[in-house]
Amino acid sequence: DSGVTQTPKHLITATGQRVTLRCSPRSGDLSVYWYQQSLDQGLQFLIQYYNGEERAKGNILERFSAQQFPDLHSELNLSSLELGDSALYFCASSPGGNTEAFFGQGTRLTVV
Amino acid sequence: AQKITQTQPGMFVQEKEAVTLDCTYDTSDQSYGLFWYKQPSSGEMIFLIYQGSYDEQNATEGRYSLNFQKARKSANLVISASQLGDSAMYFCAMREPSGSARQLTFGSGTQLTVLP
């Protein structure tokens, strides 16, 4: 158990819909990262938050947004969903600096 | 250019044998970190081992060791005494200190199958 909790584990939704993925980082970790893993793109960095503030953006679509709350949990919002958004979405946390990131179990999103 | 290259899409190893998974990287930074993660069929990403660019000794964690050759920009993972439970996808990743970001860049992965 990495200590990072993601909910839900599985999500099936229709095209055009909006979903929210939730992540609770390890106790004490200030950094939260979101990654997308798809068959054609591999593991791609989406966005990072550090202590409530956006720190870095990767290949995140405009239809996607995220935030980190004062209790440090984070949510990734995906809207106007398309079939190609079907993927495994990971949240990872780290205390900061050049340390390892610990991953949650992921949320498997299926858009039908 | 690819920042992390894993040239072995699939590897097979006999149980109890050692296996090396290749990883080369590309960076112009002097300070960076290299990581290996394991992803079993259940999907979770499990951290295995970390090597800092300034670490003089190769990192080891139990049966895992990282063969770090800085001049060649390679960071191969060595698994000794393979077990059936080692069958999984293995990802090499790098963290560069680009500004204040600390995200990981991943390779495409190597699917390891351990044969009984």
Residue A5: pLDDT band by 50, 70, 90 thresholds?
very high
Please name the residues in contact with A47: beta carbons below 8 A apart, sequence gap of 6 or more: A33, A34, A54, A56, A57, A58, A60, A64, A66, A76
Measured distance CA(A36)–CA(A46) in Å, rounded? 7
Is A70's Cβ below 8 Å from some Cβ in B? no
Burial class (CB in 10 A: 0-12, 13-18, 19+), A74: buried
> Which tens digit of pLDDT belongs to each residue from B75-107?
999 999 999 999 999 999 998 765 555 788 999
Q: Please report which confidence band the pLDDT of residue A97 belongs to, taking 50, 70 and 90 as the band edges.
A: low
Q: What is the distance of C-alpha B96 from the center of its chain?
A: 16
Could you say which of B52, B100, B108 has the minimum Cβ distance to residue A55? B100
Which tokens is B25 given? Answer: 């990287």
Side chain identity, residue B5: T
Q: Which of A56, A100, A104 sits opposite B103 (nearest CB)?
A: A56
Burial of A50 (0-12, 13-18, 19+ CB in 10 A): buried
**Are the beta carbons of A101 and B104 separated by less than 8 Å?**
yes
Confirm or reject contact between A6 and chain B (CB < 8 A): no
